[in-house]
Amino acid sequence: MSSIEITVIDREGVETPGVDWEDDESLMECLVRNSFPILAICGGNASCSTCHSFLDQVSFVTAGEIDEDEADVLDSLNDSEREPTSRLTCQIAWDTDLAGAVVRIGPF
């Protein structure tokens, strides 16, 4: 099994570098396994926004296109909750190119 390291910033602004993301996980699963406050109510089906987070600009581009289901959920967020680099972490697959990504956990 392979892994990469990412940095996670929680809702209070506390930065945790060196978070291990394993190759068999979505980003949401990584965050949950590492005890970050991600609810993941829908279980990773892109039907809620409880895993909503923000990526750094480079990682946002690297993570690939947002599909229609994810776009619909993101479109339902308030303008104050959504940012240009908003993503549902359940829809981000592990990729070696995401090593060093910075993930800031979104509001509840």
3-state helix vs strand vs coil in the chain, percent to 5:
25, 25, 50
> What domain range is 28 assigned to?
3-105
pLDDT number for residue 79: 86
Number of compact structural domains in the chain: 1
The residue written with tokens 């602004």 in the block is: 13
Indicate whether this model's pTM tops 0.85: yes
Q: Give per-residue pLDDT as tens, 8-67.
A: 999 999 999 999 999 999 999 999 999 999 999 999 999 999 999 999 999 999 999 999
pLDDT mean across residues, the chain: 96
Q: Give per-residue pLDDT as tens, 57-94.
A: 999 999 999 999 999 999 999 988 999 999 999 999 99
pLDDT number for residue 55: 98
Task: Give me the CATH number covering residue 74.
Answer: 3.10.20.30
